Structure 1
Amino acid sequence: MRFKSSNLAQQSVELPGTRSAGATGVFRHVSHTAELVEFLPGHPELKSLYDIWQNSVKEFGPRDFLGHRPFNTVAQSYGGYTWQTYAQIDKRVNAFGSGLMYLNEKVLGNAQLNRWSLGIWSVNRPEWFLSEMSCNLYNNVSVPLYDTLGPDAVEYIINHAETPIVVASANHIASLLENAEKLPTLKAIISMDSLQDTVPVPGHTSAAKVLRAWGAQKGIRVFDFAEIENLGVEFPRKHIRPQADEVCSICYTSGTTGVPKGALLTHKAIVAALGSNAIDVGTESEDVVISFLPLAHIMGRTIDASAMASGAKLGYFRGDILLLLEDVGELRPTFFPAVPRLLNRIYAKLVASTIEAPGLVGALARRGVATKLANLAAGKGVTHPLWDRLLFNKVKQALGGRVQVILTGSAPIAKEVLSFLRIAFCCTVLEGYGSTEGIANATLTVAEEYIPGHIGCPRSSTEIKLVDVPEMNYFSTDKPYPRGEIQIRSVAMFSGYYKDEKNTKEALSEDGWLATGDIGFVDERGCFTIVDRKKNIFKLAQGEYIAPEKIENVLQARCNLIQQIYVHGESLQSTLVSIVVPEPETFAPFVSAIVGKTITMTDLAGLEAAGQDPRVRAAVLKELEKAGKAGALRGFEFVKRVYLTMDAFSVENNMMTPTFKVRRPQVKEAYTAQIQAMYEDINSAAIPAKL
Structure 2
Amino acid sequence: MGGGNIKPKIEYMQEVPNSKIPGSSAIYRNPKSKADLKSKIPSGGSTLYENFITACQKFGSVRFLGTRQLVDNKLGEFAWKTHSEVREKSQKLGFGLHQLGLTELNEEGHSFIGIYSKNRYEWLVADFACISQNITTVPLYDVQQSDTISMIVNQTNMKGIFCSSNLTSNLIKLKTQGIINAIHCIIQFEDVDLTTKSQGAEVGLKIISLEEACQLINQGQDNPPNPDSWFTICYTSGTTGKSKGAVITHRNIVTMMAGMADAGFGDINHEDSNLSYLPLAHMLDRAVCHYLTGVGGGIGFFGGDITKLKDDLAELKPTIFVSVPRLYCRFYDAINQMFNSATGAKAVLIKKALRAKQKAYKETGAINHAFWDTLVFKKVKAVLGGRVKVMLTGSAPISGDVINFLKLVFSCPFIEAYGQTETCGGSFTTDFNENEPGIVGGPVSTLEFKLMDVPDMNYLSTDVDEYGKPSPRGEICMRGEPIFKLYYKNPEITMETLDSDGWLHTGDVGVLLPHNKALKIIDRKKNFFKLSQGEYVAAEKVENAYLKSYFVSQIFVYGDSLQYYLVAIVVPEETYIRKHWAHDNGYNPEASFEDICQDPRLKLKIMEDMAKYAKEDKLLGFEIVKKISIEPKAWTVDDLLTPTQKLMRYQAKVKYQDIIKALYQEPL
**Aligned residue for 2:126?**
131
**Aligned residue for 1:70?**
69
Q: Report if the CA contact (8 A) 1:117-1:163 is conserved.
A: yes
**Aligned residue for 1:678?**
630
Pick from 556, 561, 565: which aligns with 1:553?
Answer: 561
1:565-584 to 2 correspondences below 5 Å: 565-569=565-569
Q: Say yes or no: does 1:331 pair with 2:348.
A: no
Q: Report if the CA contact (8 A) 1:404-1:428 is conserved.
A: yes
C-alpha distance in structure 1 between counterparts of 2:359 and 2:271, whole Å? 33
Worse overlay, 378-387 or 20-29: 378-387
Q: 3-state SS of the aligned residue for 1:432?
A: strand
Pick from 166, 169, 172: which aligns with 2:164?
Answer: 169
The change in CA–CA distance for 1:61 and 1:162 in structure 2 (over 3 A counts) is same
C-alpha distance in structure 1 between counterparts of 2:286 and 2:614, whole Å? 23
Q: Report if the CA contact (8 A) 1:2-1:284 is conserved.
A: no
The change in CA–CA distance for 1:165 and 1:325 in structure 2 (over 3 A counts) is same
The change in CA–CA distance for 1:109 and 1:473 in structure 2 (over 3 A counts) is closer
The change in CA–CA distance for 1:218 and 1:3 in structure 2 (over 3 A counts) is farther
**Aligned residue for 2:638?**
none
**Aligned residue for 1:82?**
79
C-alpha distance in structure 1 between counterparts of 2:3 and 2:113, whole Å? 36
The change in CA–CA distance for 1:93 and 1:416 in structure 2 (over 3 A counts) is same
Aligned residue type for 2:261 = A
The change in CA–CA distance for 1:570 and 1:38 in structure 2 (over 3 A counts) is farther
Q: Report if the CA contact (8 A) 2:133-2:224 is conserved.
A: yes
1:244-643 to 2 correspondences below 5 Å: 244-255=227-238, 258-280=241-263, 281-282=265-266, 283-355=268-340, 357-480=342-465, 481-524=471-514, 525-536=516-527, 552-554=560-562, 556=563, 564-569=564-569
- What is the TM-score of this pair, normalised by structure 2? 0.80
Q: Report if the CA contact (8 A) 2:569-2:631 is conserved.
A: no
**Aligned residue for 2:551?**
none
Aligned residue type for 1:242 = P
Q: Report if the CA contact (8 A) 1:137-1:241 is conserved.
A: yes
Per-residue Cα deviation, 1:616-638 (whole angstroms, up to 9, x for no partner): x99xxxxxxxxxxxxxxxxxxxx
The change in CA–CA distance for 1:29 and 1:356 in structure 2 (over 3 A counts) is farther
Q: Report if the CA contact (8 A) 1:536-1:547 is conserved.
A: no
Aligned residue type for 2:204 = G
Deviation at residue 177 of structure 1 after TM alignment: 0.6
Q: Report if the CA contact (8 A) 2:512-2:519 is conserved.
A: yes
Deviation at residue 432 of structure 1 after TM alignment: 0.5
Per-residue Cα deviation, 1:331-381 (whole angstroms, up to 9, x for no partner): 000001111111110110000011453443333322321221222222331
Deviation at residue 390 of structure 1 after TM alignment: 1.9
Aligned residue type for 1:514 = L
- What is the TM-score of this pair, normalised by structure 1? 0.77
C-alpha distance in structure 1 between counterparts of 2:376 and 2:525, whole Å? 44
Q: Report if the CA contact (8 A) 1:148-1:651 is conserved.
A: no
The change in CA–CA distance for 1:404 and 1:109 in structure 2 (over 3 A counts) is closer
C-alpha distance in structure 2 between counterparts of 1:302 and 1:256, whole Å? 21
Per-residue Cα deviation, 1:106-149 (whole angstroms, up to 9, x for no partner): xx999889831010011111111111111111111100001110
Per-residue Cα deviation, 1:133-186 (whole angstroms, up to 9, x for no partner): 111111111000011101111111111111100100011111111110111210
Pick from 127, 132, 135: which aligns with 1:140?
Answer: 135
Q: 3-state SS of the aligned residue for 1:315?
A: strand
C-alpha distance in structure 1 between counterparts of 2:403 and 2:13, whole Å? 22
Q: Say yes or no: does 1:227 pair with 2:212.
A: yes
C-alpha distance in structure 2 between counterparts of 1:30 and 1:451, whole Å? 20
C-alpha distance in structure 1 between counterparts of 2:244 and 2:472, whole Å? 32
Pick from 619, 640, 652: which aligns with 1:655?
Answer: 619
**Aligned residue for 2:50?**
51
The change in CA–CA distance for 1:356 and 1:473 in structure 2 (over 3 A counts) is farther
Deviation at residue 289 of structure 1 after TM alignment: 1.1
Q: CA RMSD in A?
A: 3.4
**Aligned residue for 1:11?**
12
Pick from 180, 184, 193: which aligns with 1:187?
Answer: 184
Deviation at residue 531 of structure 1 after TM alignment: 1.3
Q: 3-state SS of the aligned residue for 1:362?
A: helix
Deviation at residue 487 of structure 1 after TM alignment: 1.1
Q: Report if the CA contact (8 A) 1:67-1:316 is conserved.
A: yes
C-alpha distance in structure 2 between counterparts of 1:114 and 1:95, whole Å? 23
**Aligned residue for 1:204?**
none
Pick from 225, 232, 235: which aligns with 1:242?
Answer: 225
Deviation at residue 245 of structure 1 after TM alignment: 0.9
Q: 3-state SS of the aligned residue for 2:448?
A: strand
Q: Report if the CA contact (8 A) 1:277-1:306 is conserved.
A: no
Q: 3-state SS of the aligned residue for 2:37?
A: coil
Deviation at residue 15 of structure 1 after TM alignment: 1.2
Deviation at residue 193 of structure 1 after TM alignment: 1.5
Give aligned pairs, total: 575
C-alpha distance in structure 2 between counterparts of 1:349 and 1:642, whole Å? 34
Q: Report if the CA contact (8 A) 2:274-2:299 is conserved.
A: yes
C-alpha distance in structure 2 between counterparts of 1:426 and 1:250, whole Å? 38
Q: 3-state SS of the aligned residue for 2:150?
A: helix
Deviation at residue 408 of structure 1 after TM alignment: 0.6
C-alpha distance in structure 1 between counterparts of 2:618 and 2:7, whole Å? 44
The change in CA–CA distance for 1:529 and 1:164 in structure 2 (over 3 A counts) is same
The change in CA–CA distance for 1:310 and 1:526 in structure 2 (over 3 A counts) is same
Q: Report if the CA contact (8 A) 1:70-1:78 is conserved.
A: yes
Q: 3-state SS of the aligned residue for 1:269?
A: helix
C-alpha distance in structure 2 between counterparts of 1:451 and 1:411, whole Å? 17
Q: 3-state SS of the aligned residue for 2:434?
A: coil
Q: 3-state SS of the aligned residue for 1:143?
A: strand
The change in CA–CA distance for 1:642 and 1:455 in structure 2 (over 3 A counts) is farther
Gaps of 5+ in 2: 466-470, 529-538, 541-554, 574-598, 636-658, 660-668
Deviation at residue 37 of structure 1 after TM alignment: 3.6
The change in CA–CA distance for 1:224 and 1:114 in structure 2 (over 3 A counts) is farther
Q: 3-state SS of the aligned residue for 2:387?
A: coil
Q: 3-state SS of the aligned residue for 2:231?
A: strand
The change in CA–CA distance for 1:422 and 1:116 in structure 2 (over 3 A counts) is same
Per-residue Cα deviation, 1:250-291 (whole angstroms, up to 9, x for no partner): 111134854310101001111101212222223211101111
The change in CA–CA distance for 1:413 and 1:536 in structure 2 (over 3 A counts) is same
Gaps of 5+ in 1: 196-207, 540-545, 557-563, 574-612, 619-640, 687-691
Aligned residue type for 2:485 = S
The change in CA–CA distance for 1:96 and 1:445 in structure 2 (over 3 A counts) is same
Deviation at residue 293 of structure 1 after TM alignment: 1.0
**Aligned residue for 2:591?**
none
C-alpha distance in structure 1 between counterparts of 2:96 and 2:8, whole Å? 51
C-alpha distance in structure 2 between counterparts of 1:117 and 1:38, whole Å? 29
Aligned residue type for 1:48 = T
Per-residue Cα deviation, 1:531-579 (whole angstroms, up to 9, x for no partner): 111112899xxxxxx9976x6123x2xxxxxxx4212247999xxxxxx
Q: Report if the CA contact (8 A) 1:379-1:450 is conserved.
A: no
The change in CA–CA distance for 1:440 and 1:223 in structure 2 (over 3 A counts) is same
Worse overlay, 83-92 or 375-384: 375-384
Aligned residue type for 2:631 = Y
**Aligned residue for 2:590?**
none
The change in CA–CA distance for 1:3 and 1:386 in structure 2 (over 3 A counts) is closer
C-alpha distance in structure 1 between counterparts of 2:357 and 2:419, whole Å? 31
C-alpha distance in structure 2 between counterparts of 1:2 and 1:19, whole Å? 34
Q: 3-state SS of the aligned residue for 1:437?
A: helix
Q: Report if the CA contact (8 A) 1:339-1:411 is conserved.
A: yes
